[in-house]
Amino acid sequence: MQSVFKRYLISFFTLPSFIFSAQSLAGGFQLWEQNAAGIGDYHSGAAAEADTAATAFYNPAGVIRLKHQQISFGAAVIPLNISYTGSAGSKTVLNAPGNTFNIVPNFQYAIPFAQRWAFAFGVTTPFGLSTDYPDVKYVNTLATETKLKTINLNPSMAYALNKYLSLALGFDVMYGSADYDSDVFSPLTSDLSGWNCGYNAGLLLQFSSRTRLGLSYRSAITIVAKGSSDSTVFGAAPIYSTASASFPLPATSIASLYHDVNSKLTLMGSVFYTQWSTFRQLIINNLSTPSGVGTVALNENYRDTWNVGLGGKYKIDRYVSLEAGVGHDQTPTRIGYRDIRLPDNNRYAASFGINVMPKPGLELNAGVTHFFVPNTAINNANANTPQTTTAAPTIGIGTVTGNINVYGMQVSWDI
């Protein structure tokens, strides 16, 4: 039964995202797809490219390069196809699908003013999670549906100290809600939500007209959430409670380098660092279960991760550019703690995209990324803790297989 509760936790810890939920594509339940234009080069210039308002998420100092007021909006489409084969306690599960179809939208607005200043406001989805396994024996003892929705509202201000150096500071207001359904021996549902705040900062250093470096940092945020929890034992009255949980969302840092080789070719590289090791354990208090109201505490034991991207752009003419990128992304999950709700693994990525400017001030981008993910070993034998006052989680040991592609489109428009 606690496997049900863990899903609650996992959906909980991903609390900050936009109108849709999404299977995580960066390590853990992190989503770097906050600018669909960057999907085509694997975000290799994330903190340094600074050519549209969408740069505000990756490095708010980059908006100082914009000459006009601009909006940028788009979405990443992520069809997830995975299946689990292995054990669920003492039972065997064969090819249980956990497929979902996910959309990750984004919106950014930027306005330069007073020569050296620029303001930006963004609505993005830094974290997200969605898997959906059939409510049939025996996979439902491990998980059925896990979904979390998050929203990050991010105003920021940038200032150019001189023609070489720009600095920026932003404020994050994060809201999240998490729903889960499960059916071990009886239906359990929970719906929690919460808010909290953090900050972000950026630096853009222009070495020359052809080369620049971008650095940015986004603070950790601890979400404190609460909401309704209920469980039903067939033939008995439902059990209701108000559950609560606190969990840390990690701090992230980005370093990017951008270089125009010539008038046609641009090369870029980025390194992303996420401090996942703060996510050691997840505890839900006052959770409704068929046996009463109790506490669920699960070891997560995440580790810090690196994500590296290299890419480039080639300008065919004044209207069309092509881009490509490759990358490697680490998972924060460890064997012994990893379950089918977040079947995460180290992965490689290959990307391709196209940029079209049909007229001055209007930019259209489309891109695709394919993730090469090896078969993922599932084993959550070390997840349980002595603090748990309900039934121990169902142990799942097996393998998740599948494939992930990301498709994105972005529109950036001077207004």
| Residue 182 confidence (pLDDT) | 62
| Residue 390 confidence (pLDDT) | 67
DSSP code of residue 64: G
Distance CA 59, CA 40 (A): 19
Question: What are the distances in angstroms from CA 412 to CA 107, 131, 335?
Answer: 10, 31, 42
User: 332 near 28, Cβ under 8 Å?
Assistant: yes
Distance CA 3, CA 252 (A): 29
Q: What is the dihedral of CA 257, 220, 60, 349, to 10 degrees?
A: 40
Radius of gyration of the CA atoms of the chain, in A: 22
User: 176 near 17, Cβ under 8 Å?
Assistant: yes
pLDDT digit string (tens) for 231-262? 777 667 777 888 888 878 899 999 999 999 99
| Residue 21 confidence (pLDDT) | 42
Nearest to 108 by CA among 119, 96, 99, 97: 119
Give the rounded percent of residues in the chain with a pLDDT score beyond 90: 55
| Residue 185 confidence (pLDDT) | 53
> The whole model's pTM is what?
0.89
Interacting residues of 16 by C-beta distance below 8 A, sequence separation 6+:
125, 126, 127, 150, 151, 152, 174, 175, 176, 221, 223, 249
Distance CA 79, CA 262 (A): 37
Distance CA 119, CA 241 (A): 44
CATH superfamily for 2-414 is Outer membrane protein transport protein (OMPP1/FadL/TodX) (2.40.160.60)
Interacting residues of 352 by C-beta distance below 8 A, sequence separation 6+:
40, 322, 323, 324, 367, 368
- Across the range 104-126, mean pLDDT stands at 95
Nearest to 178 by CA among 15, 343, 297: 15
Question: What are the distances in angstroms from CA 317 to CA 111, 174, 263, 357, 382?
Answer: 28, 41, 10, 10, 56
- pLDDT > 90? residue 52: yes
pLDDT digit string (tens) for 150-163? 899 999 999 999 99
Q: How confident is the model at residue 23 (pLDDT cuts 50, 70, 90)?
A: very low
- pLDDT > 60? residue 24: no
Interacting residues of 235 by C-beta distance below 8 A, sequence separation 6+:
none
pLDDT digit string (tens) for 365-409? 999 999 999 999 999 888 877 776 666 678 899 999 988 899 999
Question: What are the distances in angstroms from CA 168 to CA 28, 252, 414?
Answer: 28, 16, 21
Please count the other Cβ atoms lying within 10 Å of the Cβ belonging to residue 198: 19
Q: How confident is the model at residue 184 (pLDDT cuts 50, 70, 90)?
A: low
- pLDDT > 70? residue 317: yes
| Residue 300 confidence (pLDDT) | 87
**Taking all residues of the chain, what is their mean pLDDT, rounded to a whole number?**
86
| Residue 362 confidence (pLDDT) | 97
Between 415 and 349, where is the model more confident? 349
Give the residue carrying structure tokens 């150096």: 165
Interacting residues of 32 by C-beta distance below 8 A, sequence separation 6+:
25, 26, 38, 43, 46, 272, 307
User: 132 near 176, Cβ under 8 Å?
Assistant: no
Nearest to 12 by CA among 240, 222, 177: 177
pLDDT digit string (tens) for 156-183? 999 999 999 999 999 999 998 777 666 6
What sign does the dihedral 55-56-60-61 (CA atoms) show? Answer: positive
